[in-house]
Amino acid sequence: MKNPTLYQVQRLALNIALLFIYSVILFTSSCMWTPILTTNWSENYALDANGGKSETPAINDGKFDTVAFSSAERPRHFIIQFAEPQKIRRIVIHNYNLFYFEIQYWDSSKMEWKTFQTVLQRRDVKGVDSKMIQPKYEFGSLSFMTDKIRINVTRTVDDDVVSKERPTQDDIIVNRIRKFVMGRFVEYYRVLVEKPAGVREIEVYGVLPTN
């Protein structure tokens, strides 16, 4: 018959040994996978100090307290050109008043702008309503070559909508209203009044090769 005390000591020693072996394997595995899981980002290609250029310099000056503004007239856009073509993997936009916009890149092989993301401000961001902004947009898992990025703005949170009985050909009509008011038929149009679009900063990154 086995000695109960000796048997319990042997079981405890075996469990401690197995736990030690498992811990060594787990630590070794984490050390092996950490370099693979860590992304080695490039410098910010858009930054003026790194050769990025824009007609609205505040968008790539590296300062988050400055704002680059577009014209209030169409097209409302921002263009950033890099020092040379780069493979783009990640973009960060620090927002001022953008609500609805497209992000595009220049395809030099076809000589045209291509849209890779259409953005409408999220409504589930804490504190966001129709007159507040989502402060930052991040876009990852990108993979394209280009030397230019364009933000093409459709709406900002500062845009107004006014009523007009007779809109002009250049007006952007949001809605057409037809109804009876006190027995009289009324028709008018809701027209968008565009305001300057603003962006605090844009960051554009590639991925550096692993050693």
Residue 177, token pair as written in the block = 């209203």
- Of 100, 91, 94, 82, give the one whose Cα is nearest residue 156: 100
State whether 77 and 171 are in the same domain.
no
Residue 152 lies in a domain: yes
Look at residue 115 and tell me if it is in a domain. Answer: yes
Range from 29-33, 185-189, 190-194 carrying the lowest mean pLDDT? 29-33
User: Which residue would you say has higher pLDDT here, 186 or 131?
Assistant: 186
Whether 200 and 183 map to the same domain: the answer is no
Higher pLDDT, 58 or 72: 58
Inside any domain, residue 126: yes
Report the DSSP beta bridge partners of residue 148: 81
Instruction: Please tell me the total count of domains within the chain.
Output: 3
Better pLDDT: 141 or 36:
141
Q: What is the pLDDT of residue 122?
A: 63
- Residue 34 falls inside a structural domain: yes
Nearest to 61 by CA among 201, 206, 204, 207: 201
pLDDT at 102: 97
* In a domain? residue 147: yes
Same domain (yes/no): 178, 199:
no
Whole-angstrom distance, CA of residue 186 vs CA of residue 92: 47
Q: Give me the amino acid identity at 197.
A: A
Kindly state whether residues 179 and 112 are assigned to the same domain. Answer: no
Q: Please indicate, yes or no, whether residues 107 and 201 belong to a single structural domain of this protein.
A: yes
> Is 210 a member of any domain?
no
Say if residue 139's pLDDT is above 90: yes
pLDDT-derived band at 37, boundaries 50, 70, 90? low
Per the structure, the complete domain to which residue 172 belongs is given by: 160-192
Q: Is residue 116 part of a domain?
A: yes
CATH number at residue 122: 2.60.120.260
Q: Are residues 67 and 103 in the same domain?
A: yes
% of the chain beyond a pLDDT of 90: 53
Same domain, 151 and 61: yes
Asked if 142 and 164 sit in the same domain, the reply is: no
Q: How confident is the model at residue 211 (pLDDT cuts 50, 70, 90)?
A: low
In a domain, 43, yes or no: no
C-alpha 22, offset from chain centre: 41
Same domain, 74 and 140: yes
Least confident of 34-48, 92-106, 197-211: 34-48
* Pair of tokens at residue 65: 């307290």
Quick one: 19 and 84 in the same domain? no
Same domain, 78 and 142: yes
Look at 62 and 32; give whichever has higher pLDDT.
62
Instruction: Using pLDDT thresholds of 50, 70 and 90, give the confidence band for residue 123.
Output: low
Label residue 30 by pLDDT band (50, 70, 90).
Answer: very low
pLDDT at site 66: 96
Residue 138 reports pLDDT greater than 90? yes
**Are 105 and 141 in the same domain?**
yes
Residue 115 burial by Cβ neighbours in a 10 Å radius (0-12, 13-18, 19+): exposed
